[in-house]
Amino acid sequence: MKGFKLRRLSVPAMVAAIVVLATSNIVTGGFLVHSNAAKQDGHQKYPLIDVARNYIPQEHFIVNIQPLREQLQKIVKDNGPDNVSIYFETLNSGANIQINNDTRYYPASLVKLPAAMVVMKKIEKGQWHLDNRLVLLDQDKDSRFGMLYKQPVGTSFSIEELLQALLLQSDDTAHHIIMRNLSEDELNDLKNNTGLNDLFNEKGEISAKEYSRMFRSLYESSYLERASSQQILQWLSQTPFNDMLASGLPKGTIFAHKIGEDDVNKNYLDSGIVYLPNRPYMLTVMIKQHDQNKANDIMRQISHATYNYIKDYARK
């Protein structure tokens, strides 16, 4: 899988998604699973309709997103029409917005999420366990993100400790330890079993739409089991990175996301799921040719406009 080698390295399946959210520790503020009897009654009454409609009221299936599309297009135009890419999707209805979808970016720390998913798959297969330990080598040390590089060579960390450092702190040293212990076949398993053949191009670059599919896979629990998908999303909802897209959300909003920063090439990326009550959505924004402060401001505008539109949306 080409992208993993770099040192710098549809309407969703709502039934599974709703069950994941309703039975998880993430409070969605609106997904309530009814009794099995209610589900059966609804399915018997409307056997040709998606069974998710037994759980989600009609007003939360957002389909008219043209006003939001126009808002986002204006933000992009005002900040360099070729320098900002956006992928947005409402997870209830699948309605989406794509701006500069074909533009590719150096992924920076976004490569850490697929690595974590591959580790979780090994755990599901019984090949690894969360309490297994991996040893730090000198070649693993990387001071750009995280604190594990400060530990002496020979220090061992549990798989769980490495995953937490990887996803919560975006620790580069944790990523190097994990990648050194994964095989090419294991990395390719994710690509082959999720249809993510175009996640990375020949240069190891990614696009906003393709990367968003990683989060859809987690939300639907289509590659990993529900417990594994839930754990990754929970860790990602606890990251301390509150700039970029998180800065445009009200305090307390649950946002499971992964950021990427490349100060050398001025690439800034953020991707994740906003758990707005009853109306969860995916948002990925990738920016180039701007300094970090400007990139943060653009992301704040995009995130703020998106959240407010989805929150205030009313069916006509």
pLDDT in tens, 154-167: 999 999 999 999 99
∠ CA 180-185-187, nearest 5°, is 60
pTM, entire model: 0.86
In sequence order, what are the residues at sequence separation of 6 or more whose Cβ sits closer than 8 angstroms to the Cβ of residue 293? none
Asked if 277 and 94 count as a contact pair (C-beta separation under 8 A), the reply is: no
Per-residue model confidence as pLDDT tens digits over 276-290 = 999 999 999 999 989
CA distance 316 to 314: 6
Closest CA to 88 of 254, 211, 237, 252: 211
Please indicate, yes or no, if residue 158 is contained in any of the structural domains: no
Summarize pLDDT for 21-67 with one digit per residue, the tens.
444 444 443 444 444 555 556 567 888 888 878 888 889 999 999 99
Residues 156 and 141: their CA atoms lie apart, in Å, by 13
CB–CB of 4/179 below 8 Å?
yes
Q: Which residue range is the domain that position 204 belongs to? A: 10-108+185-312
Considering the chain, what percentage of its residues have pLDDT values greater than 90? 71
165: in domain: no
Distance set, CA 97 to CA 3, 53, 73, 128 (Å): 25, 23, 10, 39
Mean per-residue pLDDT, 173-181: 98
Residue 121 lies in a domain: no
At residue 20, the pLDDT reads: 40
In a domain, 133, yes or no: no
Q: How many domains does the chain have?
A: 1
Question: How far is 225 from 53, CA to CA, in rounded Å?
Answer: 23
Which CATH number is 24's domain given?
3.40.710.10
Whether residue 164 is contained in a domain is answered as no
**Is 162 contained in some domain?**
no
And the tokens for 130?
Answer: 């969360």
